[in-house]
Amino acid sequence: MEDLLKRIVSDCAPYKTLGKAASYIPELSYSNTEDLGITVATVDGKIYSAGDFDKPFTVQSIIKPVILLRALMDKGVEAVESIVGIESTGKPFDTFNYSDRALRVEHINPMINAGAIALCTLIDGRDGQEKFSRLLALARTISGNDNLKVDEAVYASEREAGSKNRALAYMLKTYKIIDGDIEDILDIYFHACSTLADCRDLAKMALVFANHGNVNGVQIMPKKYARYVNAVMSVCGMYDGSGEFALRVGIPAKSGVGGGIMATVPSKMGIGIFSPALDGKGNSVAGVEAVKRLSEALDLSIF
């Protein structure tokens, strides 16, 4: 397996030059687009890595499945589905509206910004700080890494540059999908997106979903929540490239503009990938290629 991963990292090198790092905040634009790392964590407890698997990056949208899981664990399916829909929107992740009329719950899903921001309001906690702490604690539990922490410089930049997320949040408030102080809610979200992780963290998080919530024999969440997250990632985890990803790779996955991809092969393995150069849809170019080759080599498609 390690040979395979090394070969994939080597063979996918040319793809790094086909994209470019996110640039909406300075910190992301400084990313080294030469980086490419991959980790596979299997259900029998093995970990295999190659390339820049130990370089930390901000998870960005990859935190969305964790926000969804936190909301499911804190408030249940019904509460979640009262404020987010579960259909693909057919639109980019940060699109403003989805019809000519009022914003409706069915127009947003947990994998787009508006949906993830809405779900932050479902996390238990007296205030924004406690809510984020509980979210981070969950991320630490499923990654098995108690040192996961926020990159404060990225957080500050996200907050500074967050006009679009503010617009989305005020839109959610306008249509009474959420309530409360918008800056407080966004603070949870900006912190969450700025959480640092490496390929191993992502692979181990993905493994928990692949294991349907079972961590070393302990069921840390209902099996149905793990499947819920896997299904949602499959439908809309790769932005508006989710359909193509299903066809070419066939594995539930979530990408982030930091260059990471977390992919779950149910009952088999978790995969974490990192390469900062993005395609036009916001997915890591070399990362998508790497997981595609891994899927083909190991016949991982769920279809």
Please give the residue ranges that form the binding site for its own copies (CB under 8 A): 85-91, 95-101, 103, 109, 163-164, 166-171, 173-174, 182, 227-228, 230-232, 234-236, 240-244, 246-247, 250, 252, 266, 301-303
Residue 196 one-letter amino acid:
L
Least distance in angstroms from the C-beta of 233 to its own copies: 9
Question: Per this entry, what is the length of the chain?
Answer: 303
Residue 252 CB, nearest approach to its own copies (Å)? 6
Min CB(245)–its own copies separation in Å? 9
Rounded to a whole number of angstroms, the minimum distance from the CB of residue 196 to its own copies is 26
Of 12 and 210, the one with the shorter C-beta distance to its own copies is 210
- Closer residue to its own copies (CB): 13 or 220: 220
Q: Residue 54 — φ and ψ, nearest 5°?
A: -105, 10
Closer residue to its own copies, CB minimum distance, 98 or 145? 98
46 neighbors 204 (Cβ within 8 angstroms): no
User: What is the smallest separation between the CB atom of 299 and its own copies, expressed in angstroms?
Assistant: 9
Answer yes or no: 6 catalytic: no
Among this protein's residues, is 61 annotated catalytic? yes
Please state the closest distance from residue 122 (CB atom) to its own copies, in A: 17
Catalytic residue among 61, 143, 242, 284: 61
The b-or-e profile of 110-142 (16+ CB within 10 A means b, else e) is bbbbbbbbbbbbbbeeeebeebbebbbebbbbb
Q: Toward its own copies, which CB reaches closer, 109 or 194?
A: 109
Q: List beta partners, residue 20.
A: 278
- Residue of 155, 189, 225, 228 with catalytic role: 189
Is 257 annotated in the active site?
Answer: yes
Catalytic residue among 239, 242, 249, 295: 239
Residue of 16, 64, 131, 292 marked catalytic: 64
Q: Which is nearer to its own copies, 195 or 242 (CB)?
A: 242
Known active-site residue 157: no
Q: Toward its own copies, which CB reaches closer, 168 or 207?
A: 168
Integer Cα distance of 82 and 96 in angstroms: 20
Respond yes or no: is residue 239 known to be catalytic: yes
Catalytic residue selected from 154, 257, 285, 291: 257
Q: What is the set of active-site residues? A: 61, 64, 189, 239, 257
